[in-house]
Amino acid sequence: MNPFELISPQLAILIGAGLILVYDAIFPKDNRYLPWMALAAIAVSVSFAISLAVRGEYHVGFEGTYSVDKFSVFFSVVFAGIGAAVVFASMNWVDRVGRRKSEYYALLLTATAGLMFLAGARDLITIFIALELSSIPQYILAGWGKDERSGESGLKYLLLGSIASALLLFGMALLYGLSGSTFVPEIATFIGENASDNRSLLILASTLIIAGFGFKMALVPFQMWVPDVYEGAPTPVAAFLSVGSKAAAFAVVLRIFFEGLNAEILSNDWAMIFAVLAAISMTVGNIFALVQSNIKRMLGYSSVAQAGNFAIGLAAIAVVGQEFTLAASAVLFFVVAYAFTNLAVFIAVIAISRHLESDDINAYEGLAKSAPLLALALGIALISLTGIPPSAGFWAKLYIFNAAAQADLAWLVIVAVLNSVLAAFYYLRIVRLMFRNVEDQIGSAPFAIPKSIGFVLGITVLGVLVFGFFPTPIISVAREAAAIFSIG
């Protein structure tokens, strides 16, 4: 297969980004088609990804540095879906801002293509280039708003992201210095033969890599940027960061650690690191979320806590055998459930904040009177984040907790369950506020939401419910995608 066919999904998106800029240069006053051009590029990308999956089980190109398998196709489709949802959610906001529309959609597409490259990269240099391809547009988008707070969020994200990139490069450099290769399978071979002689340096390299990607995953103590960036960035951008960036980080961590660093003498060490980070992230995220009055900051700390749930699966995957595929597929299913759920929450917040002109949680009181369907949609999404059945979030948590239990991490499951109870206080508080029967609330006047937001909100909430009632199909897909590591 032609190597460029392997990256056809990403090329379709990047070409789409270029065409948007060209179209805007030729027709600067006619920008109504820009979001539809972005959606068309994403649709073509998905069709290419599915075509690659249908044509064969496994393809490698570019001297083995990039692979197309069920794992990379799984994440490519997920990232494309996230990108499409954010485009829909951005339409009304971009029109209201009224500036640099083509650049916004082009940057969003470029970041999406970078995330897709990350899922299939099998070489440390390729991984880093893909990471920067996705990160640099996100730094710019985080500061896209006109106010000082948005500029501050973009600057903080850039500075802390640069530090994280430096830590990641140090870790990668250590791996290269020890193994003499940047190719992940060759690193795995070296570790399998020489791990005992270089165990201390390998643990140090693993720790630095975890720190670098911990920034993207929003794990404590690398989460300092999250509340400020989520609050200051435009809400559609915050939605993209909370879902796409986090999912990509976990995808590439799966690739590096479970394809390259899974030697038994080493895996127990970094598995314990992930387990400790998971426990701390859940606890710190939930405690700080409890005291927030701004819903975007609350969702920021909630995202930190949810990252801890992801990390439970990473810790569990270190166990070899049947539990390996179980835990890996649990992480993949959690990615899908979290994507639908968190996108639904952020898109609902976009619509509500647009009307109330406030991100204050108390302003949501009585919302069910003026926008009953919107309040219902947000309520369902928050229930899913809590992990209450029947929702996709319930099965995601149950699946990942089961994987941890199978990996003899009972203490971590107990911590996770207690944190789920803690999270219910601030998630369900919003639901209670929205449906409280108070007559004189700010949001009592009826209001309509833009069609694009209503459409994508309906799709995401439907996904939360469908995967809540019928989780088996997506669990099966996740297992097939995760099995690529257990079979080599």
Classify residue 63: in a domain, yes or no: no
What's the pLDDT score for residue 324? 57
Q: Which residues pair with 183 in a beta bridge?
A: 123
In order, the DSSP letters of 110-163 are HHHHHHHHHHHB-BHHHHHHHHHHHHHHHHHHHT-SSSHHHHHHHHHHHHHHHH
Q: How many CA atoms lie within 13 A of 90 on its CB side?
A: 34
- 326, 331, 334, 340: CA torsion to nearest 10: -130
How many residues would you count in the chain?
Answer: 488
Rg (C-alpha) for the chain, rounded Å, is 21
Element (DSSP H or E) covering residue 61: strand 59-61
Classify residue 367: in a domain, yes or no: yes
d(CA 356, CA 366): 12
Q: What is the mean pLDDT, run by run of 10 residues, along the chain of 488 residues?
A: 80 92 84 88 90 73 80 88 90 76 89 89 89 88 76 82 88 88 84 76 87 86 82 83 84 82 75 89 91 87 88 75 64 87 88 78 80 86 88 87 84 91 89 72 61 87 90 84 64
d(CA 359, CA 146): 17
Classify residue 383: in a domain, yes or no: yes
Enter the pTM of the model: 0.88
Domain count, the chain: 1
Classify residue 475: in a domain, yes or no: yes
- The amino acid present at 263, given as its one-letter code, is A
Classify residue 452: in a domain, yes or no: yes
Counts of helices then strands in the chain (DSSP H, E): 21, 2
Classify residue 160: in a domain, yes or no: no
Task: Please tell me whether the peptide bond between 390 and the residue prior to it is cis, using omega within 30 degrees of 0.
Answer: yes
Expressed as residue numbers, the domain containing 394 is 264-488
d(CA 423, CA 110): 34
- The amino acid present at 471, given as its one-letter code, is P
Classify residue 147: in a domain, yes or no: no
- The amino acid present at 245, given as its one-letter code, is S
